Structure 1
Amino acid sequence: MSKKKEQVLDVNLFKRLTVYIKPYKGVFFGVLIAVILLAIFTAAIPYITQQAIDQNIAQQKEQDFLYYIIAMLVLLLFQTVCQLLFIYYAGWLGQSVVKDVRVRLFNHILGFKMKYYDNSSVGVLITRAVTDMERIADIFGEGLFMIFRDLLTMLVVSSVMVYMNWKLSLIVFLMLPLVLYATRLFQKYMKRAFEEVRTEVSNLNSFVQERLTGMKILQLFTREDTEYKKFKEINERHKKGWLKTVWYNSIFFPIAELSSSITIGLIAWYGGLNAVMNDTASLGDLTAFIMMIPMLFRPLRQIADKFNTFQMGMVAANRVFKVLDTTSQIDNSGTEEATNFKGDIAFEKVHFSYVDNEEVLKGISLNVKAGQTVAIVGATGAGKSTIINLLNRFYDINSGVIKVDGIDIKTLTLQSLRKQIAVVLQDVFLFADTILNNITLNDTNITQSQVEQAAKDIGIHEFIMSLPNGYQYNVKERGVMLSSGQRQLISFLRAYVTNPSILVLDEATSSIDSHSEQLIQTATDKITQNRTSIIIAHRLATIKKADTIIVMDAGEIVEQGTHEELLAKQSGYYKNLYEVQFLKKEELA
């Protein structure tokens, strides 16, 4: 294992994390002051006890005894107040820092290329944004300040011990190296164990998330037993990872406790003999030392325990920063703002590949005039959906140019470009929210009256009003309360209400009822009027109405023209596709 891997504390990582404390440095220093006061109050109580015993109890004097009692009560009160402020504001600081890191992480994730999501596990990203964030909060709430408090308490208590009786202090300090060495070993092995635990937690989250999302497929193909066995294996690895931490704890804490008990025994023996025989140690010294030994050894145990928390937080922070360091954003260096496109679209010798050396588009060139409806047809994998993805700059092309109204889309800001293009996908995604919010996507510039008017324009207002609570109907997660046809209608309205300059439709109407299909056809006719529309065509009616049909095969445009022009070509690709695929579908319908 490399030296870097063996480091108990990654200083650079910790420095990077502390940058997020700067907005809250007032609270940070306030917590530090509370820590310092706690250490002083903690050590002062045994000292006052020693004075009370030696000056009053041992000598059977009542004078000034009440003052010692009052002083102890005042110290206990201050200690309680400092403890309350310390715990609350340390936790507050941790949650505030995590809030800022989480917001930055989510904002960073929002800008990732689609390729990043193609290759990443959703479960892992959820772990980073939720579980790992809570571990980072613990660095401040239960780790860093707790460790500092315990170290400072040990330093102050040790100083008081030496001041009171250096001979007794020597006995205590002789036992410390054993506990310190055990603590160091414990920290090193716990770091490894927690890295393993975080890995297994991510694996478990990913597995569960994917299986819950795909539960219908698992049940359709009766894969419950197989997936159950896989889950047991992953869960077993997760358990073993945690058991390592339990094992290290079960070794360390008894050793620390035994060391503390042995030290108390030695102090009682040696101090007692000195108190009786040569008066080099007083009864007050003996009592104070018995009180202070737990104050010295307990922080050592707590430091090891809190270091576990701190280490888990640092491992989590490392994983989160790896996501933040990921450079998977689309180049958004364009400065021009796209406003109200006319709708001329041009692809000029565009090459593109999702995977290196496996081209999906092989130098295609096409022109779409403003206001035209263009249908793209072709076999699965021909590159139809890729054209949609590239027009919206979900991916960057390898070479070539894509222009809208004669402007290279790379010179436009991403947000302004995408605002001018509305997309209705084949796989409609709806959020667990109301129909209204799924249409507006919480855009405050779009009012409910505008949505209702748009719904009337494309003929689906009555359908929405027939649902319980109308536009306030909650469609639940992924829109499960609606049929596939109804979800498609909502997606049409979502696109139409933004009044886009360019419309892109992945027009899928398979497996929906005839009534929904008729509504979708009406909606399609309405929203494509007077705007440039690119449609991945699945239905013959759409193809016939298109101004131009682009026929694709294996990443190339093999034919283009009107429906009649392409059918006139003997042995043409489109004619064959039409007879085999589209005509058969219409006959079956």
Structure 2
Amino acid sequence: MDEAGVYLLEERCKLKAAQVNGDETMIKLLKFLKPFRIPVVFVLTLIFLQSLADLYLPTLLADIVDIGIVQGDTAYILKIGGFMLLVAAGGVTCSITASFLSSKVAAGFGRNLRARIFSHVENFSLQEFDQFGTASLITRTTNDITQVQQVLTVMLRMMISAPLMCVGGIIMAVSKDAKLSLIFVGALPILAGLIYAVISRGIPLFKILQIKLDRLNLVLRENLVGIRVIRSFHRIDHEQKRFNQANLDLTDTAIKVNKIMAALMPVMMLVLNFSTIAILWFGSIRIDNGDMQVGALMAFFQYAMQIMFSLIMVSIMFVMIPRASASAIRINEVLDMEPVIRDEAAVQPAQGKQGYVEFQNVTFSYPGAEKPAVSNISFSAKPGEITAIIGGTGSGKSTLISLIPRFYDVDSGSILIDGVDVRQMSQESLRAKIGFVPQKAVLFTGTIAENIRYGKETASDEEIQQAATVAQATEFISSMKEGFQSLIAQGGTNVSGGQKQRLSIARALVRRPEIYVFDDSFSALDFKTDAKLRAALKQEITASTVLMVAQRVSTVMDADRIIVLDEGKIMGIGSHRELMDTCGVYREIVSSQLSEEEIA
């Protein structure tokens, strides 16, 4: 099975598991309507009044025909006609006001729900992000909420109107002529069976439709983010095929479900037209026999239309509800996901320590991994010292330092900062101590100054300039037309990889934290800039604890302590000279990068 097939299978399994409580999903989301209780009550009241007006109009029309026209009473016709205009105007006013309020309520509901999902997702650990995937979270926050918002607008307008018009229409029709009402006994079950048959086939397809939309978003996002790699390897045709496959898959499912739903309206109209013929046929016979008046037949006919159209409104709701239900399941999956990493009762660090980091027998495995990413890791890092971590690809370097700010929680052992386990500290207070520079430099749209100030909101212009100077970024910033006010494009596409890294380092420096964590943050720098940056860093961060992951031996040679990792385990700890004498893995790394003269 290909990647797309595996993805779809996983998502279908998730939906089947969620479908057990599928009926409750929409109801669970209705709690976000609490701030709009008063407008909702107004909407329902206005719809109720509009329905009463619509039900009353045919009776007034019957009176005009049977009394006013038959008896030639012009005054009565004008009187009842004027009253009809007044009732109709009232109904229109109620309808317009209800439509405005329902749209406002639905828009506010969508806004609050999006805000709730965003704030909830912000609390996710990387484990939850890995579980959902970026493309799926974007779809759930945008398209899925839009689906629920649209059906809410329809429900607010129709959930009172449709049943009331149907039941009220039947009551009024029976009051006009009970025998002629037997036509509904044949028509209504046919319509109900038709709606059930279509909806029962449509619901599963709507669920699959959302999954395939996720897949399309995933492929599209990978193409947009990885466009440089795609072009450099000339894989445009391959990616075009991937997109076309996902696009056609979505299109085929959409056509299939729309065909099913499209069959509903013509067949309903067919039943409606046959019912109309039957009413006119049998109604004319009853008029001819003197059992019914013309006005009563006209009113009966309008009530029949109201009943049929209320069922059409119900069918429209049933068409929209399955897709919204599938979306509601997916939204609730996000809202019901409890972050693995949560703040417990916060413990204050011991006094007198500023950034002392200690690993005690730390073991960590990624969810579903066959073996731990790091095993039995123990070491300490002190303020004023540089602790470097080096090792081959996949040795666990980045994993190790990502445990310090609690991007993931350890399986066993503990990580202490100033004598307190990081799991006992609030995430806010923990991360306030850390200046983190990720392996992949990430910049945000805005100016250079705003990107550096991201590390410290209250940083002055002097602090920003000082951080940029230490990070060796001043030279290229000053060469830009607007200097620190120069705009960074989305994703930092208008600066080079080395410039991005230096701005990321400046962002951490302006924070002046107790602990600096550099995750291979010098890899895109040339040797000269690397050396100058490390020399400037040494003077700037003398009172802080520095943990530095690096691939280059030249970057870590001057560190106070070097930790050598291999397959998630520590193979040696010591200075460069000590490790050259005691650690075979370190010697291999050094010999692969430096010449004999440099080693000597």
Shorter-chain-normalised TM-score: which range? over 0.9
CA distance, structure 2, for counterparts of residue 43 and residue 584 of structure 1: 98
SS at match of 1:428: coil
Point out the more displaced range, 296-305 or 522-531. 522-531
1:138 aligns with 2:140: no
Q: Is the contact made by 2:437 and 2:521 (CA closer than 8 Å) also made in structure 1? A: no
Point out the more displaced range, 48-57 or 503-512. 503-512
Q: Is the contact made by 2:456 and 2:511 (CA closer than 8 Å) also made in structure 1? A: no
* 1:40-82 deviations in Å (ceiling 9; x for gaps): 1111111111111111122222122112221121122111211
CA distance, structure 1, for counterparts of residue 446 and residue 100 of structure 2: 35
CA distance, structure 1, for counterparts of residue 230 and residue 170 of structure 2: 63
Q: Which residue of 2 aligns with 1:405?
A: 418
Alignment equivalent of 1:175, drawn from 187, 211, 217: 187
Deviation at 1:472, TM superposition (A): 2.9
| Matching of residues 516-527 of structure 1 within 5 Å | 517=530, 520-521=533-534, 523-527=536-540
Deviation at 1:391, TM superposition (A): 0.9
Q: Is the contact made by 1:389 and 1:395 (CA closer than 8 Å) also made in structure 2? A: yes
Q: Is the contact made by 1:153 and 1:296 (CA closer than 8 Å) also made in structure 2? A: yes
| Matching of residues 134-533 of structure 1 within 5 Å | 134-143=146-155, 145-275=157-287, 277-337=288-348, 342-354=354-366, 355-441=368-454, 444-456=457-469, 458-512=471-525, 517=530, 520-521=533-534, 523-533=536-546
Point out the more displaced range, 431-440 or 125-134. 431-440
TM-aligned CA distance change 1:221 to 1:77, over 3 Å: same
TM-aligned CA distance change 1:250 to 1:563, over 3 Å: closer
Give the residue type in structure 1 aligned to 2:497.
S
CA distance, structure 1, for counterparts of residue 572 and residue 54 of structure 2: 85
Give the residue type in structure 2 aligned to 1:321.
N
SS at match of 1:45: helix
Give the residue type in structure 1 aligned to 2:543.
N
SS at match of 2:487: coil
CA distance, structure 1, for counterparts of residue 315 and residue 251 of structure 2: 22
SS at match of 1:397: coil
Point out the more displaced range, 40-49 or 168-177. 168-177
| Matching of residues 531-542 of structure 1 within 5 Å | 531-542=544-555
TM-aligned CA distance change 1:544 to 1:513, over 3 Å: closer
Point out the more displaced range, 571-580 or 30-39. 571-580
CA distance, structure 2, for counterparts of residue 306 and residue 437 of structure 1: 48
Give the residue type in structure 1 aligned to 2:146.
E
Alignment equivalent of 1:85, drawn from 97, 118, 142: 97
Point out the more displaced range, 127-136 or 15-24. 15-24
Q: Which residue of 2 aligns with 1:38?
A: 50
Give the residue type in structure 2 aligned to 1:139.
V
Q: Is the contact made by 2:358 and 2:417 (CA closer than 8 Å) also made in structure 1? A: yes
TM-score, normalization by structure 1:
0.92
CA distance, structure 1, for counterparts of residue 47 and residue 154 of structure 2: 13
Deviation at 1:451, TM superposition (A): 2.2
Q: Is the contact made by 2:389 and 2:564 (CA closer than 8 Å) also made in structure 1? A: yes
CA distance, structure 1, for counterparts of residue 239 and residue 478 of structure 2: 42
Deviation at 1:523, TM superposition (A): 5.0
Deviation at 1:129, TM superposition (A): 0.8
CA distance, structure 1, for counterparts of residue 21 and residue 285 of structure 2: 44
Q: Percent identity?
A: 27
Point out the more displaced range, 550-559 or 329-338. 329-338
| Matching of residues 556-567 of structure 1 within 5 Å | 556-567=569-580
* 1:82-118 deviations in Å (ceiling 9; x for gaps): 1112112212222222222222222221122212333
1:15 aligns with 2:30: no
Alignment equivalent of 1:104, drawn from 116, 123, 129: 116
Give the residue type in structure 1 aligned to 2:279.
I
CA distance, structure 2, for counterparts of residue 586 and residue 478 of structure 1: 38
TM-aligned CA distance change 1:192 to 1:143, over 3 Å: farther
TM-aligned CA distance change 1:469 to 1:358, over 3 Å: same
TM-aligned CA distance change 1:519 to 1:282, over 3 Å: farther
Deviation at 1:422, TM superposition (A): 0.8
Give the residue type in structure 1 aligned to 2:36.
Y
1:574 aligns with 2:595: no
SS at match of 1:168: coil
Give the residue type in structure 1 aligned to 2:162.
D
CA distance, structure 2, for counterparts of residue 6 and residue 102 of structure 1: 21
Q: Is the contact made by 1:52 and 1:65 (CA closer than 8 Å) also made in structure 2? A: yes
CA distance, structure 1, for counterparts of residue 70 and residue 204 of structure 2: 53
Give the residue type in structure 2 aligned to 1:247.
K
Structure 2, unaligned stretches of length 5 or more?
1-11
1:67 aligns with 2:52: no
Deviation at 1:148, TM superposition (A): 3.1
* 1:21-52 deviations in Å (ceiling 9; x for gaps): 22221111111101111111111111111111
CA distance, structure 1, for counterparts of residue 323 and residue 407 of structure 2: 35
SS at match of 2:543: coil
Q: Is the contact made by 1:112 and 1:329 (CA closer than 8 Å) also made in structure 2? A: yes
